[in-house]
Amino acid sequence: MRIVCPFCGERELGEFTYLGDAKPVRPEAGASEDEVFDYVYLRDNVAGQTSEYWYHGGGCRAWLKVTRNTLTHEISSVEPAAGAGATKVGA
């Protein structure tokens, strides 16, 4: 699998580290215990399109949000995660 880093271009998988599911959104302060439990522990085991965080530690050290198909490993989009080189997003 190769990932096209928006800053570096296409690089081999070895330069990247998988962080995890990019779907869960941190609950607001005051959220119920169930909501926090869901956010911390519960993950979908998706067969198909998923959204994941990857870290380009072997390259530009940017955090990336990758949309990937778990059945085919096809990557449909790679974008900087919020806060990572954010000035370049959409520029």
Partner 1 sequence: MVDFSWVPRSPLEKALVTGAHGARGIEAGVSLTEIRNFDLVQVMARRGKAAELAKAAKARFGVAAPNAPKAILASDATLICSGPDQFFVLSKGGKHTMPTLVPALSGPASLSDQSHARVLISISGARARTILAKLSSIDLHATAFPIGAAAATSMDHTSVTLWRGRDRPDGKAVFNLLVFATFAESLWHTMLDAAAEYGVDISHSEELG
Q: How wide is the angle at C-alpha 48 spanned by C-alphas 47 and 49, nearest 5°?
A: 135
Q: How far is the CB of 80 from partner 1 (least distance, A)?
A: 7
Nearest C-alpha neighbor of 2 from the set 85, 66, 82? 66
Taking CB under 8 A as the criterion, which residues in 16-55 touch partner 1?
none
Site size toward partner 1, by CB under 8 A: 18
Q: Does 87 bind partner 1 (CB under 8 A)?
A: yes
Tokens for 2, please give them: 């190769």
Interface residues with partner 1 (CB under 8 A) are 7-9, 11-12, 14-15, 58-62, 80, 84-88
